[in-house]
């Protein structure tokens, strides 16, 4: 079935780091408005904007203290209404970020909830009785430390899967669900075109709160204990029936702990839950035995297998989100590609991959110019709470901190949060004053201004490959088949419908590989190298071939 959101190109904006219009070093809504023409010039249809609600910013906006107010530092509600109008005037749509698994501890609900067990808001959150030095179980927060925080007034612990300033909402309480549905309705009635739903797979808790085996890796803890709870599908179905289905919108759920067993149900058209989900099977491929900050090389055979399995699992009545980066992961070209010798080629390769797989492609701000990771000389320069907490935990465990800093360079979320690089000026054209987070020193070379002037730049390649996708609906709705699943470095697949067949090949390595299509009827129609060589694939080269079959 055809849908506008299946045909859309999505661009993610992290507002704090996109463009500062006021000169205070923090990105804002007027800054986004100022740069909408840049986003539109790519061929983008849908903008996803990270949380801009009122927040104390313990986790950069993912801790919301008022769901109906836009944070003043971003410009307030009137600025948001200007943004929505400006986006719609350019024939684009706007998707907000909905954080409904938890609120801020500064939200009115929690401020009331912690006062007494009899308070009407108390049951808006999860509470467990216990002793001040004995948490109810051994669950560990996503950001390290216990998920339980003691509340002296009620002599109870409250649950927070993230920071202690992000208490988890109790979705078992129908009043909480109604509050969330009312918030969704409030924004949809203003003209918002959809929601990305933060950690939506975590909203249903296993209420027995059983302790986890001490040796179980955190990825498995997430999957088996925190995610895909017994009522998660009931809750999402109810939300869809009562609110979402009444509007022509798009919904994408963030699904930590969601795998092939659970994933297809979230996006099945028959189930009437969500349109798409972000799973993270491919985004944890470089996590070693000790997790994210114990990185290992990417296994490209497994990488391909994940995309193939998810395509098969959602082929009948579901849909995929195709993404390789966002505000929670390091930069695509640094993590998956080669950000040195083959910076441009590998950045263009992953653009090609995003635009030729089956699913809706997501571009994170700065990836369209090949922005890279930043390597701060010490932990003090890092802002991210996850990174700082992981560092503190590693120090307590007596780890080699020189090696750990190298892991931080590779994996920290701050890699994605450095200011957008518009120009070669002091603060990269992001602001005229010192930004809230340091600018990557390579902004003097890697920036929008430079790439606008170069017809062969990464930026102009993104425009080209996006236009190519839009001109060929086979690349949107056509079938998918991996032709070389066991090759360690070549990713070759077919996209086909009744009229046209495309064969796409990517060389995921620093080496030249001998390869040519076996059928001479295939004509090369797109590639990321200006000069190709017959029978050879250069390092990080992508080629797209076409065969008309009707």
Cα–Cα distance, 303 to 509 (Å, whole number):
13
Q: What is the pLDDT of residue 549?
A: 86
What is the average per-residue pLDDT within 27-39?
99
Q: What is the pLDDT of residue 538?
A: 99
Q: What is the pLDDT of residues 472-484, one digit of tens each?
A: 999 999 999 999 9
Q: What is the pLDDT of residue 383?
A: 87
The percentage of residues in the chain with a pLDDT greater than 70, rounded to a whole number, is 100
Per-residue pLDDT band for 3 (boundaries 50, 70, 90) equals very high
What is the average per-residue pLDDT within 30-51?
99
Question: 287 vs 290, 296, 360, CA distance in Å?
Answer: 7, 6, 25
- Angle at the Cα of 372 from the Cα atoms of 367 and 376, rounded to 5 degrees: 145
Strand, coil or helix: what is 537?
Answer: strand
Q: Are 48 and 13 in contact (CB under 8 A)?
A: yes
Q: How many CB atoms lie within 10 A of CB 511?
A: 10
Q: What is residue 218's DSSP assignment?
A: H
Which residues touch 302 (CB under 8 Å, ≥6 apart)? Answer: 285
Quick check: 385 pLDDT over 90? Answer: no
Q: What is the pLDDT of residues 210-252, one digit of tens each?
A: 999 999 999 999 999 999 999 999 999 999 999 999 999 999 9
Burial pattern 423-436, b for ≥16 Cβ within 10 A else e, equals eeeebbbbbeeebb
Cα–Cα distance, 291 to 276 (Å, whole number):
26
Taken as a whole, the chain contains a residue count of: 550
Give the rounded distance of the alpha carbon of 42 from its chain centre. 19
What is the average per-residue pLDDT within 75-87?
99
Kindly report which listed range (38-42, 334-338, 386-390) carries the lowest average pLDDT score. Answer: 386-390
Q: What is the pLDDT of residue 144?
A: 86
Residues facing 134 on adjacent strands: 131
Per-residue pLDDT band for 283 (boundaries 50, 70, 90) equals very high
What is the average per-residue pLDDT within 37-48?
99
Backbone angles phi, psi at 190, to 5 degrees: -85, -10
Strand, coil or helix: what is 401?
Answer: helix
- Helices 232-242, 174-188: inter-axial angle, 10-degree rounding: 40
Quick check: 345 pLDDT over 90? Answer: yes
Cα–Cα distance, 215 to 187 (Å, whole number):
44
Q: What is the pLDDT of residues 82-113, one digit of tens each?
A: 999 999 999 999 999 999 999 999 999 999 99
Cα–Cα distance, 201 to 266 (Å, whole number):
9
Q: What is the residue-averaged pLDDT of the chain?
A: 97
Cα–Cα distance, 147 to 451 (Å, whole number):
46
The two three-digit tokens of residue 71, written as one number? 């944070």
Q: What is the pLDDT of residue 290?
A: 87
Q: Of the listed 45, 156, 198, 367, which one is catalytic?
A: 198
Q: How many CA atoms lie within 13 A of 385 on its CB side?
A: 17
Q: Domains in the chain, start-ordered, CATH in brackets?
A: 10-103+174-382+418-462 (3.20.20.80), 108-159 (3.90.400.10), 479-548 (2.60.40.1180)
Of the candidates 524, 526, 523, 528, the one whose C-alpha atom is nearest the C-alpha of residue 541 is: 528
395 as an active site residue: the answer is no
What is the average per-residue pLDDT within 292-318?
97
Quick check: 266 pLDDT over 80? Answer: yes
**Residue 172 CB burial class (10 angstroms; 0-12, 13-18, ≥19):** middle
Of the candidates 452, 431, 458, 368, the one whose C-alpha atom is nearest the C-alpha of residue 17 is: 431
Which residues touch 402 (CB under 8 Å, ≥6 apart)? Answer: none
The β-bridge relationship of strands 66-70 and 127-129 is unpaired
**Residue 150 CB burial class (10 angstroms; 0-12, 13-18, ≥19):** middle
Could you give the strand order of the β-sheet that contains 156-159, starting from the edge strand earlier in sequence? 127-129, 156-159, 148-151
Q: What is the pLDDT of residue 496?
A: 98
H-helix segments, 254-400: 263-267, 300-314, 332-335, 343-356, 385-396
Of the candidates 95, 83, 67, 66, the one whose C-alpha atom is nearest the C-alpha of residue 28 is: 83
Cα–Cα distance, 73 to 16 (Å, whole number):
9
Quick check: 550 pLDDT over 80? Answer: no
Cα–Cα distance, 450 to 476 (Å, whole number):
31
Q: Are 542 and 548 in contact (CB under 8 A)?
A: no
Q: Of the listed 254, 339, 367, 482, which one is catalytic?
A: 254
Q: What is the pLDDT of residues 420-475, one digit of tens each?
A: 999 999 999 999 999 999 999 999 999 999 999 999 999 999 999 999 999 999 99
344 as an active site residue: the answer is no
The percentage of residues in the chain with a pLDDT greater than 90, rounded to a whole number, is 95
The two three-digit tokens of residue 20, written as one number? 């500062």
What is the average per-residue pLDDT within 340-362?
99
């Amino acid at each position: 079935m055809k849908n506008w959101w299946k045909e859309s190109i999505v661009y993610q904006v992290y507002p704090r780091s996109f463009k500062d219009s006021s000169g205070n070093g923090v990105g804002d809504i007027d800054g986004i408005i100022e740069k909408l023409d840049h986003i539109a010039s790519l061929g983008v249809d849908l903008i996803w904007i990270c949380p801009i609600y009122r927040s104390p910013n313990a986790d950069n906006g993912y801790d919301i203290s008022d769901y109906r107010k836009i944070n003043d530092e971003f410009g307030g509600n009137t600025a948001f209404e200007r943004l929505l109008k400006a986006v719609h005037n350019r024939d684009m749509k706007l998707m907000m970020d909905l954080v409904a698994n938890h609120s801020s501890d500064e939200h009115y609900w929690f401020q009331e909830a912690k006062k007494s067990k009899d308070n009407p808001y108390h049951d808006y959150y999860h509470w467990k009785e216990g002793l001040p030095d004995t948490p109810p179980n051994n669950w560990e927060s996503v950001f390290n430390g216990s998920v339980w925080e003691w509340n002296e007034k009620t002599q109870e612990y409250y649950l927070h899967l993230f920071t202690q300033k992000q208490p988890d909402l109790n979705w078992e309480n129908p009043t909480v669900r109604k509050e969330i549905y009312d918030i969704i309705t409030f924004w949809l009635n203003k003209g918002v075109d959809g929601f990305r739903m933060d950690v939506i797979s975590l909203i249903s808790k296993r209420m027995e709160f059983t302790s986890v085996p001490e040796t179980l890796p955190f990825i498995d803890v997430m999957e088996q204990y925190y995610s895909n709870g017994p009522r998660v599908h009931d809750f999402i179905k109810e939300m869809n029936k009562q609110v979402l289905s009444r509007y022509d919108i798009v919904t994408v759920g963030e699904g930590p702990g969601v795998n092939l067993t659970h994933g297809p149900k979230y996006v099945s058209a028959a189930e009437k839950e969500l349109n798409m989900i972000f799973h993270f099977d491919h985004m944890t491929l470089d996590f070693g035995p000790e997790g994210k900050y114990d990185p290992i090389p990417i296994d490209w055979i497994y990488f391909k297998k994940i995309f193939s399995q998810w395509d098969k699992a959602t082929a009948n009545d579901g849909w995929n989100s195709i993404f390789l980066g966002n505000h929670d992961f390091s930069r695509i070209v640094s993590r998956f590609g080669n950000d040195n010798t083959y910076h441009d080629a590998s950045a263009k390769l992953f653009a090609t991959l995003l635009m030729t797989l089956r699913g809706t492609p997501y571009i994170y701000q700065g990836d369209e110019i090949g922005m890279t990771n930043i390597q701060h000389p010490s932990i003090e320069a890092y802002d991210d709470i996850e990174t700082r907490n992981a560092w503190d935990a590693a120090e307590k465990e007596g780890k080699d901190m020189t090696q750990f800093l190298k892991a931080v360079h590779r994996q920290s979320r701050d890699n994605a949060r450095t200011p957008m690089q518009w120009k070669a000026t002091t603060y990269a054209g992001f602001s005229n004053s010192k930004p809230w987070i340091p600018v990557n020193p390579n902004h003097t070379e890697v920036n929008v201004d430079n790439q606008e002037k170069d017809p062969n730049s990464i930026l102009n390649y993104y425009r080209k490959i996006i236009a190519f996708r839009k001109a060929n609906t086979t690349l949107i709705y056509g079938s998918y088949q991996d032709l070389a699943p066991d090759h360690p470095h070549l990713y070759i697949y077919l996209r086909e419908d009744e009229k046209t067949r495309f064969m796409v090949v990517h060389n995921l390595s620093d080496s030249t590989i001998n390869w040519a299509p076996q059928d001479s009827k295939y004509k090369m129609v797109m590639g990321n190298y200006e000069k190709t060589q017959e029978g050879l694939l250069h390092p990080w080269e992508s080629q797209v071939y076409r065969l008309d079959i009707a």
